Amino acid sequence: EMSAILRADDQLHLSRSHFIDAHAIVERAVIERLEKHGVNVSGHLFGHNIEALRKIKAAPQFSKAERTKLHLALDELVGLQQARCDIVHGHLQMVRIDGEALACFVNCRDQAANGSLARLISVATFTKMSTQLRKLAAEILSAKINPAPSPPPPAPGATDDP
């Protein structure tokens, strides 16, 4: 029984580590995407970078369809942000509910005088969120930026001289 508890604890720690790594991958994807658009990201928080990416306008090099696709990925990513905050700002404690080992996080930033909310996450949920983050990183990087159009060739007989 004790070795099963230790194995479950190890699995939860490993799963949390994979989740944090997947989040770092998607964070890097957001930064790379901003850099492709020429946006300075030096020292900006992740939430600021998501908003900066969302503000990029459609243009001949960045179609409305590609922008919409990118916004859908960003919406999905924002949906995972509270879980990430709870995980990185909370101490992992293992709990068992109905025999299932779960990671329990209480975000130290959300303590309340009348009680705190806890987030319970299974190994399967960590795996699902990690997979989702990696998929989102790929989607964020895949939105196409077309090369800038070349200027039209000069008209026959045209000259640059005044």
Residue 161 phi, psi (nearest 5): -75, 145
Percent of the chain clearing pLDDT 90 (strictly above): 59
* Gap between the Cα atoms of 41 and 74, Å rounded: 17
pLDDT, tens only, 66-79: 999 999 999 999 99
Query: What three-state secondary structure class fits 104?
Result: strand
DSSP one-letter code for 108: G
Q: What is the mean pLDDT of each run of 10 residues along the chain (162 residues)?
A: 67 94 97 91 90 92 91 95 92 90 86 79 96 97 73 63 54
Residue 150 phi, psi (nearest 5): -75, 150
> What's the confidence (pLDDT) of residue 69?
93
> What's the confidence (pLDDT) of residue 119?
94
- Please report, for the chain, how many H helices and E strands are present, in that order: 5, 3
- The single residue listed with the structure tokens 């996450």 is 121
> What's the confidence (pLDDT) of residue 8?
77
